Structure 1
Amino acid sequence: MTSIFRAHMGADFDRLHPEIQRRFSVGLESGEGCVGRGVMERIWHGGRFVKPFLRIGGTRNILVPREGKDVPFVIENMPYLDSFGRETVTFVRTFRLPGGPHRFDATMVHSPERDCVLDYLGTHQHLASDLHMSAEPDGSLLIRSGEHRFREGPVDVRVPGLIGGDAVLRESFDEATGRFRVRVRVVNRHFGPLFGYEGTFTTEYVDVRSHGVRRDLRPVREEARA
């Protein structure tokens, strides 16, 4: 068994910077999880029409409903087997915003049938996005979103492009500072920029075989449909 990210990227994974490779090698085989701590230099929103959607999403830990600068944050990437027997990695981001912390939760699984990493968003995995990963010439990781789907009970519908957003994430490692840099930008093809953030962080690796994964990092509800 290899990490879900290496399984998706294949030989392209070896083109990543060694520190990026280690960070995205967290998994059941390595027995490691990763905790990143740093500062988001900027969290931004698009036009006014975006804010109601972000507030609604914020009730289920999807996206970030408030803007800010120099916001401390933690990201926790922990591997576990979900209730359907799939290797899963958490991407739980906690932003220390003025007025109180806010979480942006995601859990990821490898989907060979869709040829992607499947990103379930929020506490109840109501939104699922296809993620396609590749290595950039400088060793950074580029992630682009594909199709988005909404699932609740028997409902399973594709989110139309009119209201959906195309996400691009770049993560790199700066050898001069010893810090990772992340930049996320979500754009609607009709209305323009919706949401994003950028910042830097350092990491530590933890033994999940000995300590397990905290229950609060796992979603309240798990979605079987890939």
Structure 2
Amino acid sequence: MKKEIIVDKKKTKTLIKDSKSIRKEFLSLYTKACEEGKEEADFFHNVLKHLYGTEQQISNIRKMDGLEDSEFPRYLMSSKLIHDLFDYLVEDDEIEKMCQCTGVVDEKTNTIVPTEILKLGMSQRSSIYVKGDRRSINNTYSQLDDYLHSIVIQGHRHPGSGPGATQPSSIDLRNHKDMEMCYPVIGIIFVKGGYFRFFSSDDKFEIEIYGTINGKEVVKVDDRTYRIQDVN
């Protein structure tokens, strides 16, 4: 006989909130340990994974019982922000580049609105690889904590052009999965020709783009890929 699961709405919501708060503390410990090259970094990373997994399990139970909206997070993107991201990331050379965005997170409606580009320092750059500078990243995250803000977008460029060049690599997906344990973040990959693709490790999100670029609509190529018209 299947045992009925009785869900206490207030308690499960509090558990998720408490877990997120604890996860934030461990995130600070993890980033500090990484910066200082301490062995404890692996331990803190594993704790973050377990906390994130627990939150997801509780959230799934709430959704099954109708206590939580089962819709995927919805990202409302400004066409101007997209154009600014493209201009910043896609330059004349073929060297990879990265940045992040912060924004407004409305947990009640599961809606996220990216608002500002964060131009991080980069410790390594080549035609096929880019790595953020750890000190620059930590300083940025510390400043965001002062405003109770979060990372919501991680953007970078790929070499090449055309929609096929926007596919995330296995490294992109692996790194992004780690970020998703800590932040409500999706990725954007830009290439020459104006193509860009949204992605995440589980592909469970919705995108809406508002506005035009130079008076023209942003063209939707497929479910996750778009194009800015009339750019090189």
Give the structure-1-normalised TM-score: 0.28
User: Over alpha carbons, which structure has the higher Rg?
Assistant: 2
TM-score, structure 2 as length reference: 0.27
Greater share of strand: 1
Q: Which has the higher contact order (CA 8 A, sep 6+)?
A: 1
